């Protein structure tokens, strides 16, 4: 037993691996010879117990290591090193050699320490040193792998965070950019009794020429200019006639883009004619290819009310909340009552607001009076001065109504016109059938300019050459082919509804055919050409200039501010911005806020030419006012009549645009005084009847309002009584 004990605690000097193996073999032989069977069984039992405990410890340790590896990096240099089967056997042999001297608890403690720490001191044995060397060789690989995985995971998380932050910044920047481009007016305002979302009134004065503001007959509109912002004038679009330009005003599109290329035209695809005087045909959505502002507004939950605006009855997309059908001679006072009545409706923030008929944020109203009387009597007649004054009175009543409601600084007002007007004369007519054979022409489009569609397309070139030759030798017109030399600034070529060949009169001239007006016979008899006023010429000619004046919270500029001249394709964007809606793509580029270039001096424009001279009164029309051969110029506070001179010596040959004559397709010619008197009598009768109907409509509205009020009170009283019970 003493020998066994010596063997168990023998510690040989350090040696290489081969010596250690030989020593182990000798010790094992000696131990087998000196042990009894009982010792061997006890030793075997201890070995089995030791193996089971070691296996259990290894299993638990491996589980702990894996769990720790998921959440934290271990501090020990040997973490993650797994013992091989050979190493475990060597540990067991060492435990056997120590078993005689050390108690079981110390043996288990040493074994657990070796398992936990993965090494023993190098002085213990050569086997321990060998294990240390093996572990040191294996150690960097798993540690380096965990570090690499950790950095990969960290890098992935960093990339994800950077990408997410980038998306957030991109979305924020895009939203800021969008807002800066649109710049909508979105703040609500109150007049003390009601809350108003951004609200704009758009009023079109058909045929109101820009220089009409300088005739000392528009005190209300002139005062409005002094408190608002405006250019010196606004240019219409080509052709400068009512229907194309009114649709341009509310779409921001050139006529070639929105498809209403004239007051009358032929569509070769539909094989149908468009006549602006025939609502059954013209008020169909197939003719109107742009999206008007009332559709844009309604799609974005901004309610719209449209009063007689050309095209508003065509059922284009979403219907506006309110639509008033066209009435040719509606009293101006009724228009004021209608607009103010719409503003008096409860808004969405008010008690009693109706979801079916709420207060609109966009009100667009059309006033045809100046255009109508300009055609009948001419732009320099006494009658047109009276009409302009009446329209100005209407505007004054509207401004007063807004002031009474404390809405002057709450509601935006934008006043525009669609074109100007020029005086006609029998001496400025071109007899078209004296130049070309009209029998080869299948149809003509427009007026006063002529779009020609020959029966045979092969005749287009010969007709063009003939007309071009005559235009070079005589005054009054120019000739263009749609697909060859139509001026680019007209934007009048990219649509099949535009005829292939055009005869365009100079400003103040007109194209006629003999079946409508025989020029030679009229000159002999002294017959006066009608209409007395015409538009539809070159949209950049001074006599075709329109107006744009705006005031309100969307136009926070110094009173009387002046901006650069612009074309009417810009109006759509500006009105959209004023009520906070996003406009559809269009040809305009101007956005709010406007950028003034100074203040108006309120003097007549220096480049404004005098109007064309009119025909002298003839014996057959002696009751025509003599003032139509004159123009009125302002001089301080007084008004003097100045003789005019012909524009032919002052203005270069202009490009022309269509016009809207007060007749289906061509102007009505008044052959005698009795016919004109009859027209005037009919007009007076219509005015009286419209006045009566207007009063009846007003009484109906009053009765309806009274009924609704009484019904609400009765309903409220019944509800209160029920609650008390």
Please name the residue that has the structure tokens 């890098």.
Answer: 155
Q: Which of 50, 199, 242, 644 is catalytic?
A: 242
Q: Contact, 619 vs 224, CB < 8 A?
A: no
Would you give the distance in Å from CA 627 to the centre of its chain?
A: 47
H/E stretch holding 265 reads: strand 264-267
589 is catalytic: no
- Angle of CA points 329, 332, 333, to nearest 5°: 130
Residue 415 · residue 549 · CB < 8 Å: yes
* Structure-token match 């219907």, residue found: 319
Which positions ≥6 away from 337 have C-beta within 8 Å? 698
Token pair for 292: 């008007």
> Measured between alpha carbons, how far is 65 from 81 in angstroms, rounded to an integer?
10
Where b means 16+ CB within 10 Å and e means fewer, 236-267 reads bbbbbbbbbbbbbbbbbbbbbbbbbbbbbbbb
- DSSP state letters, 299-336: HTT--EEEES-TTTTS--SSPPSEEE---TT--HHHHH
For CA atoms 286, 256, 205, 181, the dihedral sign is positive
Residue matched to tokens 């016919």: 675
Half-sphere exposure of 211 (CA within 13 A, CB side): 21
Residue 449 and residue 658 in contact, taking contact as beta carbons nearer than 8 Å: yes
What is residue 564's three-state secondary structure?
A: coil
Tokens 């201890």, residue located = 46
513 close to 487: Cβ distance less than 8 angstroms: no
Backbone angles phi, psi at 274, to 5 degrees: -105, 125
Question: Which residues form the catalytic set?
Answer: 242
């Amino acid at each position: 037993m003493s020998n066994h004990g010596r063997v168990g605690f023998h510690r040989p000097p350090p040696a290489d691996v081969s010596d250690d193996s030989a020593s182990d073999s000798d010790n094992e032989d000696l131990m087998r010879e000196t042990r009894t069977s009982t010792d061997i069984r006890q030793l075997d039992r201890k070995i089995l117990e030791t193996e089971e405990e070691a296996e259990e410890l290894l299993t638990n340790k491996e589980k702990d290591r894996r769990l720790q590896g998921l959440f934290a990096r271990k501090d020990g240099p040997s973490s993650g090193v797994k013992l091989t089967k050979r190493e475990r056997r060597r540990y067991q042999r060492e435990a056997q050699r120590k078993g005689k001297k050390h108690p079981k608890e110390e043996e288990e403690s040493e074994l657990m320490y070796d398992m936990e720490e993965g090494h023993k001191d190098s002085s213990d044995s050569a086997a321990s040193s060998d294990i240390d060397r093996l572990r040191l060789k294996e150690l960097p690989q798993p540690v380096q792998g965990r570090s690499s995985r950790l950095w990969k995971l960290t890098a992935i998380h960093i990339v994800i965070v950077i990408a997410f932050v980038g998306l957030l910044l991109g979305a924020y920047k895009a939203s800021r950019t969008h807002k800066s481009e649109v710049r909508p007016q979105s703040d609500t305002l109150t007049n003390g009794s009601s809350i108003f979302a951004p609200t704009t009134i758009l009023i079109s004065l058909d045929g109101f020429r820009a220089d009409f503001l300088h005739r000392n007959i528009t005190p209300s509109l002139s005062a409005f200019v002094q408190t608002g912002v405006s250019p010196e004038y606004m240019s219409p679009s080509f052709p400068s006639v009512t229907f194309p330009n009114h649709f341009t005003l509310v779409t921001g599109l050139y006529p070639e883009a929105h498809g209403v290329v004239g007051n009358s035209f032929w569509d070769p695809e539909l094989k149908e004619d468009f006549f602006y005087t025939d609502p059954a045909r013209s008020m169909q959505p197939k003719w109107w290819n742009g999206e008007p502002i009332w559709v844009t507004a309604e799609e974005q939950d901004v309610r719209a009310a449209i009063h007689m605006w050309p095209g508003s009855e065509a059922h284009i997309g979403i219907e506006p909340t309110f639509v008033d059908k066209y009435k040719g001679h509606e009293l101006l006072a009724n228009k004021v009552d209608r607009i103010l009545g719409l503003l008096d409706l409860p808004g969405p923030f008010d008690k009693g607001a109706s979801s079916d008929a709420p207060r609109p944020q966009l009100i667009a109203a059309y006033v045809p009076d100046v255009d109508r009387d300009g055609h009948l009597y001419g732009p320099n007649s006494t009658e047109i001065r009276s009409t302009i004054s009446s329209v100005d009175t209407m505007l004054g009543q509207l401004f007063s109504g807004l002031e009474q409601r404390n809405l002057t600084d709450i509601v935006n007002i934008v006043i525009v016109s669609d074109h100007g007007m020029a005086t006609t004369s029998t001496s400025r007519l071109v007899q078209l059938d004296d130049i070309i054979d009209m029998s080869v022409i299948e149809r003509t489009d427009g007026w006063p300019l002529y779009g020609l569609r020959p029966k045979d397309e092969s005749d287009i070139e010969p007709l063009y050459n003939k007309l071009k030759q005559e235009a070079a030798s005589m005054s009054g017109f120019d000739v263009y082919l749609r697909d060859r030399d139509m001026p680019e600034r007209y934007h009048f070529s990219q649509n099949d509804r535009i005829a292939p060949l055009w005869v365009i009169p100079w400003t103040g001239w007109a194209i006629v055919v003999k079946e409508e007006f025989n020029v030679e016979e009229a000159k002999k008899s002294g017959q006066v050409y009608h209409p007395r006023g015409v538009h539809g010429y070159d949209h950049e000619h001074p006599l075709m200039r329109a107006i744009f004046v705006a005031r309100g919270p969307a136009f926070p500029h110094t009173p009387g501010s002046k901006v650069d001249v612009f074309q009417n394709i810009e109006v759509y964007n500006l009105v959209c911005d004023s009520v906070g809606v996003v406009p559809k793509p269009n040809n305009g580029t101007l956005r709010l806020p406007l950028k003034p270039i100074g203040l108006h001096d309120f003097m007549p424009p220096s480049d404004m030419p005098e109007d064309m001279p009119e025909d002298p009164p003839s014996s057959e029309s002696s009751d025509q006012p003599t003032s139509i051969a004159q123009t009125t110029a302002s001089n301080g506070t007084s008004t003097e009549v100045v003789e005019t001179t012909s524009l032919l010596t002052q203005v270069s040959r202009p490009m022309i645009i269509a016009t809207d004559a007060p007749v289906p397709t061509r102007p009505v010619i008044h052959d005698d005084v009795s016919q004109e008197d009859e027209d005037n009598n009919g007009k007076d009768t219509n005015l009286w009847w419209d006045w009566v109907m207007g009063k009846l409509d007003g009484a109906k509205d009053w009765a309806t309002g009274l009924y609704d009020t009484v019904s609400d009170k009765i309903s409220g009283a019944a509800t209160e009584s029920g609650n008390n019970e």
